[in-house]
Amino acid sequence: MALVGTEHHRSVLLSAPDIGELEQEYVLAALRSGWVAPAGPDLDLFEAEIARRAGVPHAVAVNSGTAALHLALEGVGAGPGDVVVVPTLTFAASANAVRYTGATPVFADCDPATGNLDPELLSGLLATLDAEGARVRAVLTVDVYGSCADYRRILPLCERHGVPVVEDAAESLGAEHDGRPAGSFGRAAAFSFNGNKIMTTSGGGMLVTADTGLADRARYLAGQARLPAEHYEHAEVGYNYRLSNVLAALGRAQLCRLDAMIERRRAVRAAYAGVFAAVDGVRLLATGEPGNCWLTTVVVDPRRTGWRARDLAAHLRARDVETRPVFKPMHLQPLHAGARAFLTGAAEDLFTNGLVLPGGSVLGDDQIRRVLDEINTFLGVRR
């Protein structure tokens, strides 16, 4: 049966996985090798390769970015009675990982230009919490949409207060800040290889750190906290967090292609920037540093454009182009009702006026062209 207009009607997804022949080869080789448990040569190599990429000596592969965050927070000693500072503009997992440890998240607003943690606000927040005698166990930074937080300002601040930084680099593998790679800034950092991220193991994550003790403990906890003995010996509650060797093989193939996939996303970002450059009242969320361009977010000032972000979203949705609102801030989530938050209104403004555009490296030139044409059509109608 012939399908008419299939090409035109193919949906454009926000960030679809980019899987090709190399991935098939690697996964098949892992299966044929018999290493299908969460142990094996691909797992060891994947850890070494990600550690090198992040510029840190240790990496522990786990089955999600959330698990990596949990172990990182555990590694800095977060527990009941502690406070962990979390940006309010983030994915739910950042704050959930804090809650797993029993610590209490305190939310902080973002820099309106970048969407990342506001260093100015953080400065006052840490001083306030210090004065109150709060036990601030960590500042959990998030590299939102693939651009690093402003570590140039955040690290000295946290150091002055004696608070370690844990980096949620789930979205920022391959990004840089100050000439250093994402994942190298915190006492520990977490990458995610979920299906929608810059590269994927279908599901997976990695904790990276320069702290040998933290890495060893994370590896131990991720393996059900099994003590070295021939029988099963346990003195603590552990977790089943290790990544399968088969999925590590998938990750290794993806890592071979990471730079090419980032190049592709950068080209997509540049194309969006070109379309919106001439539009008064629309800006791109950006840090001015080489991010990995995981996703491109536009911010609309409806007083200047005469239209809202959600109008553009509706136009694109009607044409099978997926977009997404900017993260709903954590302090507005029912889950965190009553949580303490230091706010400027920036995150709420981005939630209202931001729109995340499709950015997958798997998008073909034809699909990108179609999205750009649809945006131009929308803008033409509105102008």
Ligand X SMILES: *Cc1c(COP(=O)(O)O)cnc(C)c1O
Residues annotated as catalytic are 197
Residues 155-214 that bind ligand X (CB under 6 A): 168, 170-171, 192, 194, 205
Check: CB of residue 244 under 8 Å from CB of residue 36.
yes
- Return the number of the residue (200 or 353) whose C-beta is nearest ligand X: 200
Q: Cα(41)–Cα(43) distance, rounded to whole angstroms?
A: 5
Q: Choose the stretch contacting ligand X; rule: CB under 6 A; options: 86-94, 177-185, 278-286, 366-374.
A: 86-94
Q: Cα(149)–Cα(127) distance, rounded to whole angstroms?
A: 20
Q: Cα(149)–Cα(126) distance, rounded to whole angstroms?
A: 17
We find the least distance from the C-beta atom of residue 294 to ligand X, in angstroms, to be 9
Candidates 35, 91, 272, 342: give the one binding ligand X (CB under 6 A): 91
- Return the number of the residue (47 or 374) whose C-beta is nearest ligand X: 47
By CB atoms closer than 10 A (0-12, 13-18, 19+), residue 340 is: middle
- Return the number of the residue (66 or 367) whose C-beta is nearest ligand X: 66
Check: CB of residue 99 under 8 Å from CB of residue 70.
no
Q: Choose the stretch contacting ligand X; rule: CB under 6 A; options: 60-68, 263-271, 337-345, 365-373.
A: 60-68
- Per CB under 6 A, does 90 bind ligand X? yes
Of all residues in the shown chain, the one whose CB is closest to ligand X is 65
We find the least distance from the C-beta atom of residue 382 to ligand X, in angstroms, to be 31
Q: Cα(88)–Cα(347) distance, rounded to whole angstroms?
A: 7
Q: Are strands 58-62 and 104-108 parallel, antiparallel or unpaired?
A: unpaired
Residues 103-142 that bind ligand X (CB under 6 A): 142
Check: CB of residue 244 under 8 Å from CB of residue 250.
no
- Per CB under 6 A, does 361 bind ligand X? no
- Per CB under 6 A, does 93 bind ligand X? yes
Q: Cα(273)–Cα(188) distance, rounded to whole angstroms?
A: 33
Picking from 64, 53, 68, 97, the residue whose alpha carbon sits closest to that of residue 214 is 68
Check: CB of residue 297 under 8 Å from CB of residue 183.
no
Q: Cα(107)–Cα(150) distance, rounded to whole angstroms?
A: 17
Q: Choose the stretch contacting ligand X; rule: CB under 6 A; options: 41-49, 77-85, 89-97, 241-249.
A: 89-97
- Per CB under 6 A, does 65 bind ligand X? yes
We find the least distance from the C-beta atom of residue 66 to ligand X, in angstroms, to be 3
Helix (H), strand (E) at residue 207: strand 205-209
- Per CB under 6 A, does 244 bind ligand X? no
- Per CB under 6 A, does 367 bind ligand X? no
- Compute φ and ψ for 104, nearest 5 degrees: -110, 125
How many residues line the site for ligand X (CB under 6 A)? 14
Q: Choose the stretch contacting ligand X; rule: CB under 6 A; options: 91-99, 256-264, 267-275, 310-318.
A: 91-99
- Per CB under 6 A, does 287 bind ligand X? no
| Positions that interact with ligand X (CB under 6 A) | 64-66, 90-91, 93-94, 142, 168, 170-171, 192, 194, 205
